[in-house]
Amino acid sequence: MKKKLSVAVGLFLLIAATGCSSEENSLSENNESSNSITNGDITLRYGSGDLNKSIEIKNSAVNFIKFDQSGQKLSALQNKTTYTPNLAGAIAAVGNNWYNINNGETYYIPEGTTFTGGFNFNSGGKIIILGELGGSNWLNVPNGGRVEVGNNGKILSTVNFHLNSAGKLDNYGFVTYTTGSVDGIINNYNNLNFSNSESLNGSSIVNNYCRMVFNAPNNYLNSSLNNEGYLTFEKGFHINGSGSLNLKGQSYTEVTGGTVSIDGKIKANGNGDGFSRMDFSNMSFGNINANIAFMGHIDLNFVNTSYTAIQNKINNQVTINSNAYIQANECTPQKGNAPCSDDQLQFTLVANVASPSISNTTLSATGVTINNGFAYVSYHTNDAVAGSNTKGAIRIFNVTDYNSPSLVNEALFNNIEFNNVDVDNNKLYAVGGDKNGAKLVTAPLVNNTFSTQDLSSFLNYKLPSSTAKNSYFYNNYLYASTGTTGGGFFKLDPNNAYAITDQYNFAGERAKYVAHNNTYQVFLAVQATGASLRIANNDGSNPKVYNYSTLAQTVTDGKNVIVLDDEYVYVALSDKGVAKIRLSDGQLMNNFIPRNFKVNDQNVFSQTGLTNAVAVNNCYLYLANGTDGVIVLNKNTFKVVGYYKLSASANYIYISNNLAFVATGESGLNILKIN
């Protein structure tokens, strides 16, 4: 049976029109050029102007103090494939003769020779090209026909070469494809150029494992083009509705001119291999009719190219201008910096963001999430300064340009404060509390921002306990961690006013945080005897509970953020530092306590520092460690790579791709690039 939550549905009446504000809200800047609406409980500010006066653009290097560590390197990608021909029973093709190929027959062009004659496939057969295929005759490869080009073999640009449906080309050498369509199958293991405008018709399958170039304009993809290596479009392309460009992790695709139009899809199929990368330079976008044109772990980078046409056509796994690292090999050039080269790791302070203020109460940032190039930041009051005063805020930043973030929305709340924020499927979920207990506030998003027409879309719901710590939305349910007395870990039904459908918590334990990846869901609780983790499937099923007495904290009222990568959960444990725990079996793999770290028998970090929060990316673990600033560990070895300090105590950190947000209490929010 579902337990009903009492609902304080925020059908807040619109009291003031644009340009008005409640007397209860003392805005952090004069609002001479801002727009705002209010209902007395909420003031929503929007538009350019004084909102952005709270952002001080820096774009300055951070003093990152490093320690001598050896960097981790990525394994090499597949290079060109060695081809060994099977010439048993094969017939040599020489000079300028003409040959009829019957079913089951194999002809070959010997290495070191150039054949300028012709072939006629009467039915399925094979041609092996170890030398050069030249001349100007047509070579139509039919269903069942196969052409193999050896490592030193070539098909020259004079040849009218065409693959019919189910005809096959396996290229281990150098091929220039001159006819205007492909109807068969291409597997490219070395170098292949399409020299004319090309149509990959619906019956074709084109797989690139090394280097492939489209030289001309007006290329049409009506089927699957699969890139696992280096793919170049010199003058653009068009993907029709039946077509797709499929990118494997660590593949590199570039567009160096022309126009790109998309009715189909560009999809990354990483399978744990990391991001694929697409670079666009000196080109333009035409019609982007696909609802979601780019999906999966793709990093899109732009030079002399406007990308406004695609900003709303990407899913939340796609990144923009993150300079993803692609390792060089025989087929692919290096792009970006090696992510695990510790000597190359550095940080740029992009901006300082002053905290919002309500009725002379300065707020502190508590949570961040990024979706579709926008950052959503939650704020609450600092109890040590504000006492029982309860005020909060949600801000929305446009961070598509990492070098110049802008503040587009600010929602100020007179009676609710927030500990965390989540975004899913064009809806925002913010959790915290008011004087009467834990609260959830929801709001729809329009083009990634709040509706500025009225405030009736902001709804609030009462949750169990005194305050809500964090939440996330998954598979049509909201999962939330709340407070102490009466709190715990809850599964909530949005179709029934966020009624409790399941409650997962342990007697005597204090709920702290919940997080998930594509496989696992993890809930952290603490008690005097140690930390507890509930590790389950990402829908909450098949749970296992693990207890860690060695991780008992002296300080138990901290934030205690947890983050996951594919294999591990990393737990911020205040005075016990950070722990690394394997998700598959709950095994404690490592524990780093900053106050115990020494160099030449001297303590490096404060003896009172607390690990408030952690964040993780592909190689590193980042600790928000109070007055110590941000400490960076190699996530594999748990060795200290270095640290940097900001203007005030680091209380929270969030990282998405190469962008980091570090909260420093009332001193504001710091936005950094990881280089």
Q: What percent of the chain has pLDDT over 70?
A: 90
Q: What is the mean pLDDT of the chain?
A: 89
Q: Annotate 4-71 with DSSP letters as a single string.
A: PPPEE-------B-TT---TT---SS--TT-EEEE-SSEEEEESSSGGGGGEEEEEEE---EE---PP
C-alpha atoms less than 13 angstroms from C-alpha of 236 in its C-beta half-sphere:
16
Query: What is the mean predicted confidence (pLDDT) over 288-304?
Result: 95
Q: What percent of the chain has pLDDT over 90?
A: 75
| Residue 7 within any structural domain of the chain | no
List, for residues 414-443, the tens digit of each pLDDT value: 999 999 999 999 999 999 999 889 999 999
Q: Is the dihedral of CA 117, 121, 127, 133 positive or negative?
A: positive
| Residue 280 within any structural domain of the chain | yes
List, for residues 595-647, the tens digit of each pLDDT value: 999 998 999 999 999 999 999 998 899 999 999 999 999 998 899 999 999 88
Domain match, 420 and 513 both: yes
| Residue 87 within any structural domain of the chain | no
Q: What 8-state DSSP symbol labels residue 81?
A: P
Amino acid at 291: N
What is the gyration radius of the CA atoms in the chain, in angstroms?
29
pTM: 0.61
Helix then strand then coil, in percent of the chain rounded to 5, is: 5, 50, 45
| Residue 19 within any structural domain of the chain | no
Indicate the residue among 550, 581, 601 that finishes a domain: 601
Domain match, 329 and 381 both: no
Can you give the pLDDT at residue 279? 97
Continuous H helices in 538-646: none
CB burial string 501-533: b at 16+ within 10 A, e below: eeebbbeebbbbbbbbbeebbbbbbbbeebbbb
| Residue 135 within any structural domain of the chain | no
Can you give the pLDDT at residue 70? 38
Domain match, 299 and 443 both: no
Can you give the pLDDT at residue 33? 60
Domain match, 409 and 541 both: yes
Can you give the pLDDT at residue 79? 58
Q: Is the pLDDT of residue 20 over 60?
A: no
Indicate the residue among 601, 636, 668 that finishes a domain: 601
Domain match, 384 and 525 both: yes
| Residue 374 within any structural domain of the chain | yes
Domain match, 444 and 530 both: yes
Domain match, 313 and 371 both: no
Give the separation between CA 259 and CA 646, rounded to whole angstroms. 44
Domain match, 523 and 419 both: yes
pLDDT, greater one: 300 or 74 = 300
Number of domains observed in the structure of the chain: 2
Tokens describing residue 108? 């070959």
Name the band, by pLDDT with cuts 50, 70 and 90, for residue 383: low
Q: Exposed/middle/buried for 64, CB within 10 Å: 0-12, 13-18, 19+?
A: middle
Can you give the pLDDT at residue 662? 96
Can you give the pLDDT at residue 454? 87
Can you give the pLDDT at residue 387? 60
Indicate the residue among 601, 628, 663 that finishes a domain: 601
- How would you classify the pairing of strands 35-38 and 42-46? antiparallel
Domain match, 371 and 235 both: no
Residue reference for tokens 């796994």: 317
Give the separation between CA 409 and CA 394, rounded to whole angstroms. 8
Can you give the pLDDT at residue 23? 31
Return the SS3 of 338: coil
Q: Which of these, 72, 638, 622, lies nearest to 340 by C-alpha position?
A: 72
Q: Which domain holds residue 423?
A: 357-601
List, for residues 174-192, the tens digit of each pLDDT value: 999 999 999 999 999 999 9
Domain match, 571 and 492 both: yes
CATH code assigned at 440: 2.130.10.10
| Residue 529 within any structural domain of the chain | yes
| Residue 196 within any structural domain of the chain | no
Task: Indicate the range of 7-16, 147-156, 392-401, 531-540 predicted with least confidence.
Answer: 7-16
Domain match, 263 and 370 both: no
Domain match, 387 and 304 both: no
Alpha-carbon dihedral 496, 497, 502, 503, rounded to 10 degrees: -170
Can you give the pLDDT at residue 508? 64
Name the band, by pLDDT with cuts 50, 70 and 90, for residue 271: low
Can you give the pLDDT at residue 241? 94
